[in-house]
Amino acid sequence: MTEPPDGRRLFATPAGIKLAPLKAIDDGKARGFVVQMRAGRFHGFVVRQGDDVHGYADKCPHMGLPLAQSLDAYLAPGGGLIACSWHSALFDIRDGRCVGGPCAGQRLIPWPVSVDDGVIVTMDASAA
């Protein structure tokens, strides 16, 4: 499947897409994913905390840039917060709320994901 000529970037995915086994992300770490769809590409990331996963679109609400400048570098030192590597904005892992930096009052775009039989899968946004 090729990307549309206008290179549309999407901010949601359909439910049921199998992303990776849970064990593909170390506990306390994050991993980026690109999902190619007919309408464009979705760029997102998943943070693992034990058996729980939290997903977000890879877009900082401050400037609209992807959060990580390096592969899978979505977390602040220590791993307790999501960090924008461009402007040092910090976000709560559980709800995507900005807790520091230039995006006060804003949130990351949630990407509903869950673990089903040991595999990280996308969920319907209304089920999140």
Alpha-carbon distance of 79 to 50, in angstroms, equals 13
Domain presence at residue 128: no
Q: Six-digit token pair at 127?
A: 């089920």
From the number of C-beta atoms within 10 Å of its C-beta (0-12, 13-18, 19+), residue 18 rates as exposed
pLDDT at 4: 45
Domain presence at residue 127: no
Q: Six-digit token pair at 102?
A: 């230039």
Cβ–Cβ under 8 Å, residues 12 and 56: no
Domain presence at residue 1: no
Confidence of residue 101 (pLDDT cuts 50, 70, 90): very high
Please state, rounded to an integer, the average pLDDT across all residues of the chain: 91
Structural domains in the chain (count)? 1
> In this structure, what CATH number is given to the domain that contains residue 54?
2.102.10.10
Domain presence at residue 52: yes
Percent of the chain with pLDDT over 70: 92
Domain presence at residue 93: yes
pTM for the whole structure: 0.90
Domain that holds residue 113: 9-122
Q: Six-digit token pair at 19?
A: 């992303």
pLDDT at 18: 97
As a residue count, the chain comes to: 128
The C-alpha torsion from 86 through 87 and 91 to 97, rounded to 10°, is -120
Domain presence at residue 82: yes
Closest CA to 41 of 9, 16, 6: 9
Alpha-carbon distance of 3 to 72, in angstroms, equals 22
**pLDDT, tens digit, 9 for 90 and up, residues 71-91:** 999 999 999 999 999 989 999
**Among 7-16, 20-29, 56-65, 92-101, whose mean pLDDT is lowest?**
7-16
